[in-house]
């Protein structure tokens, strides 16, 4: 895997049981970058949305449905985020809290992770990526 694509609402915003200021999947994105992965946010937000300023340098690409003109689970949006990362979809892991969106990513060749809890998602990503993500 060479890319990590994360949904914003419900994934990057999920603090789980963590008491820290930064949600655990944001920390995971930092760790992924340290290991050379390209990172992206893929959100069904409108075109005017942007990630928090403190996260701007953490993501190589931010794709929103409003800006792209299509929304998850439309295959075009997954292909667009892979293109913006400069990667083949098959080298990307996509994480979303909605199963329908995970299925959409898998349909274009991405490895899909259905986010149900922070703990389970981090465990699954650590197996797929083969390095620790928890700070």
Cα separations in angstroms, 49 against 37, 63, 100, 128: 24, 10, 22, 30
> What pLDDT does 19 receive?
76
pLDDT for 49 equals 87
10-residue averages of pLDDT along the chain (135 residues): 97 90 95 98 90 92 96 98 98 98 98 98 98 89
Distances (CA, A) of 103 to 9, 19, 111: 18, 31, 9
Q: How far apart are CA 29 and CA 39, in angstroms?
A: 7
Q: And the tokens for 119?
A: 């703990």
């Amino acid at each position: 895997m060479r890319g990590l694509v994360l949904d914003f609402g419900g994934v990057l915003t999920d603090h789980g049981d963590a008491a820290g200021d930064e949600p655990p999947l944001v920390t995971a994105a930092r760790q992924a970058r340290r290991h050379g992965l390209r990172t992206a946010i893929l959100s069904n937000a409108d075109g005017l949305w942007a990630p928090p300023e403190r996260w701007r340098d953490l993501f190589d690409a931010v794709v929103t449905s409003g800006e792209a003109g299509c929304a998850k689970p439309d295959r075009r949006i997954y292909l667009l985020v892979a293109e913006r990362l400069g990667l083949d979809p098959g080298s990307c892991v996509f994480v979303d809290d909605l199963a329908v969106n995970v299925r959409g990513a898998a349909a274009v060749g991405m490895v899909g992770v259905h986010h149900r809890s922070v703990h389970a998602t981090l465990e699954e990503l650590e197996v797929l990526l083969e390095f620790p993500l928890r700070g």
